[in-house]
Amino acid sequence: MGVGANRFKPYLYIAPVLLLSGVLLYYCVGFTAYASLTDWNGLRRMNFIGLENYLHLVEDPTFWTALKNNLIFMVATVAIQAALGLLVAVICAERLPGSTFFKAVFFLPIAMAPAIIATVFKYMLEANYGSLNESLRAIGLLGAGEVIQWLGKDLGVWSVIIINVFQWMGFSMMVYFGGLMAIPRELHEAAVIDGAGWWRRLFSIILPSLRGTTSVLIVLGIVGSLKTFDIVWLTTGGGPGVSNHFLSTFLYQARSDREAGYSSAIGMVILVIAFLLSLAQIKVSERRR
Amino acid sequence: MTPTRRTHRSHGLAAALVASSLLLSACSSGGTDDTTSEDTPAADGAVELVFDSWLPTMDPLQWPALYAAFQEENPDISITFNRDEDFDAFKTQLDNKILADEVPDIYGIQVGSSFDDYADYALDTSEYASGWIDQLSEQAVAQTTTTDGTVAAVPILNAGMEYFLYNQTLMDEMGLTLPTTRDEVFAIATQIRAAGLTPFAMGAADAWHDADFFVWLSNQYGSGGDIYKAAAGEIPWDSDTLVQAGQAWQELFTNGVFEDAATTVNTYPMARDDYFMARRAVFMPTGSWHVGAGLTISPETPGTAVENDALGMADCPPGGERDAGVTAGVDFALAISASSTPEKQEAAAKFVEFMAVGEGQQMWADTLQGFPVAKDVTVHLDEGESDLAQSSVDLVTETLLAAQYDRKLVSPGRDSLENDLGVVLQNIADGADPATELATLNQ
């Protein structure tokens, strides 16, 4: 094979991926970007209106409610899932009796469809006859006829956070567990010989060694939180009112209302936010290294 | 140390890959329900049609029976029925097919703000229905007419709001009588709550139900009909009559007529299955299509706590200054694709005629999925049905015929109106000031 042919060989290797992603991803992103500048109704009406959708978005209180909910959800779920996941992983790594069983139990929700989890929680959290409020009444923490609106305008986002943690904590645990298993045993042995206790090893060996894993989980958490849709929609539908809308449910609602151009603008904003947050996180972790 | 670090990195990379694959596999679940009838192989010279809709249901008395009867009359026409139970999901599928230039030969269509959008792809009914469309209610046909005056779809079923289902057996056990005035509604709600049950199970989490209820309620203030003017932009949304209706709406929540946290309860399945059919609620506000719940043929009640109870339907007691009757409108219409071949359009026209003025209209009306639009068709019940079921059907038929106001608001260029109004009404239900909230719709 000549030198000229060799020069093009690497491009041939990546051509299939480029073609696939170009058609399936970048074309769609480009189309959405264009659609966001139109009054597209999801069918064939598609008049160019410039930045009108974006200006409307900035003035739309639902957008700010959804963005706030997304941020609360993102910070809370990333932090709680990482902390709980690490805790359970570290405990499981100690190989205590029953740790394998608990590892499987904590991992189980990941194997369940989000729709099933959302439906089960919706029934548990229902205000009048849900099992949680009924239990609280049974033990006297809630009076007869009193309700706590777990999926209402004040607590809805926090309930969604708890559901998400239930579903994904096992994922963080398994990733951390994989990271823990990768830490060389020699490091622990050397530390023990040097007289380091369990806590000292946790903060001086385990946590620094898991920095890369944490970084991956944070990026996945950020991206995952921005695309969270199923459990929010199936438990709250974004309501009451718009109180529990996330950016993704807001987008879906706009599309259902035949405002496809507007929902495209919401989609572009989500894309930009996800890109910027991931970029920032990667920069921060690079600086740490 | 270098080899160790490299091993550590490779393990980290492996962990990241495992993480990504787990994430992707976890996120790959989900999908939509899509019910398709069995494909019927077409004989030589036969016409095959595609029919997309959210109705009829797959209950044996609906699509299977309707299709069998149609095929008996038209053995050369076979239909592949793609049903999406969820109306929004159906519309999304229809949008995609329209964008792909694969408009189904026949498609279901609902009146309202988006009617004109879908009517653009429909064959003008004057090309296939002029010989029989006068057998349909003029009011119904007017609702399937576009803003430029084209009758783009054939109305098939009517529906009205606001009715309520009641559990007569439960009422008898509690010594209650049917409320007929607003004061009686408040009084009976107090009685029922004292007994530890829910008075009215309202699915206020549904914007469509809130909007339908409010349209019905608001017509009872002033001379009626102001809400249609507000939708058309002729008067502000915070006009006196609408604010009064907003206050009346709020009182239904604050005075305990509806269940607590009603804005977190949807109509289907929660209000119906977890409250009314679970015998936790005595009443359930709903539409005329639910009158069939009290019949022996109802597919909804078997296996529920109300299976052996007598269920009836009544029109909601007026909540305002005067009784304005129920609202009514075309709940289901059929359109024929303008882009289908002439032979398919001809075959599709036979199906639409069958459903509108033929045997299909009578068969479907008898299931009480909706009420007939054909003038000479009335609902027939089996002889074994109870007096309560018969009187409920008679009442719904009578009130629908007397309806003066449309069920759905039309606001050209503002397809989101129903949802926007629903959001406002949920905020009012949760304690927001009616005037302030309604004013947000003026934008």
Tokens of A65: 């409610």
**A236–B contact, CB cutoff 8 A:** yes
Mean pLDDT of B417-430: 96
Domain count, chain A: 1
Q: Is residue A140 part of a domain?
A: yes
Q: How far apart are CA B301 and CA B293, in angstroms?
A: 7
In chain A, residues 93-112 whose CB comes closer than 8 Å to chain B: 110
| Residue A136, domain extent | 57-288
- Which residues are CB-neighbours of B342 under 8 A, at least 6 positions away? none
Across the interface, whether the CB atoms of B8 and A44 are under 8 A apart is answered: no
Question: Is B26 in the A-facing interface, judged by CB distances under 8 Å?
Answer: yes
Of A41, A144, A174, the CB nearest to B117: A41
- The H-assigned helical ranges of chain A are 3-21, 27-35, 52-59, 61-93, 99-107, 114-125, 131-138, 156-182, 185-193, 198-201, 207-209, 211-226, 230-235, 247-256, 260-288
CA dist list (Å): B195 to A140, B182, B191, B254, B260: 20, 20, 7, 18, 15
A56: nearest CA partner in chain B: B443
Entry field: residues in chain A: 289
Please tell me the CATH code under which domain B163-325+405-442 is placed. Answer: 3.40.190.10
Q: CA nearest B52: which of B35, B72, B38, B40?
A: B35
Answer yes or no: is A126 within a domain: yes
Q: Is B147 left (phi over 0), alpha (psi -120 to 50) or beta?
A: alpha
All structural domains of chain B with their residue ranges: 39-160+329-380, 163-325+405-442
Contact A178 B18 (CB under 8 A): yes
**CATH code for the domain in which residue A162 is found:** 1.10.3720.10
- Pick the residue of A81, A154, A217, A258 with the most B CBs within 10 A to test the interface with B by mutation: A258
Residue A278: its pLDDT value, please?
A: 79
Q: Which residue of B has its CA nearest to A181?
A: B11
In whole angstroms, what is the distance from residue A177 CA to residue A171 CA? Answer: 10
Residue from B117, B264, B418 to probe the interface with A (highest A Cβ count within 10 Å): B264
- Which chain A residues in 24-83 lie under 8 Å from chain B, judged by CB atoms? 41-45
Stretch B106-111: mean pLDDT, rounded? 93
Which fold would CATH assign to domain B39-160+329-380? D-Maltodextrin-Binding Protein; domain 2 (3.40.190)
Measure B374 CA to nearest chain A CA, in Å: 31
R_g (Cα) of chain B, nearest Å: 25
What residues of A are in contact with residue B99 (Cβ under 8 Å)?
43-44
Which residues of chain A register pLDDT less than 70? 1-4, 288-289
Give the neighbor-by-neighbor strand order of the sheet with B311-315: B198-200, B281-286, B163-167, B311-315
Spell out the residues 6+ positions from residue B421 whose beta carbon is closer than 8 angstroms to its own: B207, B210, B211, B214, B409, B441
Residues of B with CB below 8 A from A128's CB? 198, 259-261, 275, 280
Q: Given pLDDT bands bounded at 50, 70 and 90, which one contains residue B28? A: very low
Distance from CA of A2 to the nearest CA of B (A): 35
Of A113, A182, A224, the CB nearest to B8: A182
Which residues 165-194 in chain B show a CB within 8 A of chain A? 193
Mean predicted confidence (pLDDT) in B90-113 = 91
3-state secondary structure of A117: helix
User: A244: nearest CA in chain B?
Assistant: B264
The string of pLDDT tens digits covering residues B62-76 is 999 999 999 999 999
User: What integer pLDDT is reported at residue B383 of this predicted model?
Assistant: 85
Residue from the list B8, B205, B419 with its beta carbon closest to the beta carbon of A257:
B419
B48 touches chain A (CB under 8 A): no
Of A70-74, A204-208, B162-166, B242-246, which gets the smallest average pLDDT? A204-208
Q: Which of A43, A182, A256 sits opposite B15 (nearest CB)?
A: A182
Q: Which range (A3-12, B99-108, B119-128, B279-288) has the least confidence? A: A3-12
Residue B32 pLDDT exceeds 60: no
Cβ atoms of residues A52 and B129 within 8 Å: no
B274 touches chain A (CB under 8 A): yes
Q: Which 3-state string (H, E, C) describes A229-250?
A: CHHHHHHCCCCCCCCCCCHHHH
A 163-202 near B (Cβ less than 8 A): 171, 174-175, 178-179, 181-184, 186
Percentage above 90 pLDDT, chain B: 74
The answer to whether residue A172 sits within a structural domain is yes
Contact across the interface for B15 and A213, Cβ inside 8 Å = yes
In the DSSP assignment, the letter for residue A38 is: B
CA distance between the termini of chain A: 42
- pLDDT at site B13: 38
Task: Find the mean pLDDT for residues B13-35.
Answer: 37
Residues 200-239 of B with CB under 8 A from A: 204-205, 207
Mean pLDDT of chain B: 88
Distance CA B92, CA A28 (A): 17
> What is the C-alpha separation between B300 and B61, in angstroms, rounded?
13
B281-286/B198-200 β-pairing = parallel
Higher pLDDT, B157 or B24: B157
- DSSP string covering B206-229: -HHHHHHHHHHHHTTSTTS-HHHH
Average pLDDT over residues B377-404: 91
Residues of A in contact with B430 (CB under 8 A): 152-153, 240-241
Please answer yes or no on whether A257 and B416 come within 8 Å at the CB atom: yes
Residues in B 289-308 with any Cβ partner in A closer than 8 A? none
Question: Which pLDDT does position B25 carry in this prediction?
Answer: 35
For residue B150, is pLDDT > 70? yes
A240–B263 C-beta distance less than 8 A: yes
Give residue B113's pLDDT: 76
- For residue B403, which amino acid is it? A
In chain B, residues with a C-beta closer than 8 Å to the C-beta of A266 are none
Q: By three-state DSSP, how is residue A110 classified? A: helix
**Per-residue pLDDT tens for A204-249?**
998 899 988 998 888 888 888 888 999 999 999 998 999 999 999 9
Q: Minimal Cα distance from B114: which residue of A?
A: A258
- φ and ψ at B132, to 5 degrees? -140, -5
In-domain check, residue A33: no
| CA gap A210, A12 in Å, rounded | 37
Could you say which residues from 243 to 282 on chain A have a Cβ atom under 8 Å away from some Cβ of chain B?
253-259
What tens digit of pLDDT does each residue of B135-146 get? Answer: 999 989 999 999
Chain B CA closest to residue A110: B26
Chain B nearest-CA distance from A212, in A, is 7
Whether residue B121 has pLDDT greater than 70 = yes
> What does the alpha-carbon distance between residue B5 and residue A271 come to, in Å, rounded to a whole number?
35
The 10 Å Cβ neighbour count of residue B384 is 9
Task: Report whether B364 contacts B62 (CB < 8 A).
Answer: yes
Q: Are A209 and B8 in contact (CB under 8 A)?
A: yes
Are B216 and B225 a contacting pair, CB within 8 Å? no
Residue that wins the pLDDT comparison between B11 and B438: B438
Neighbouring CB atoms inside 10 A of A180's CB total 19
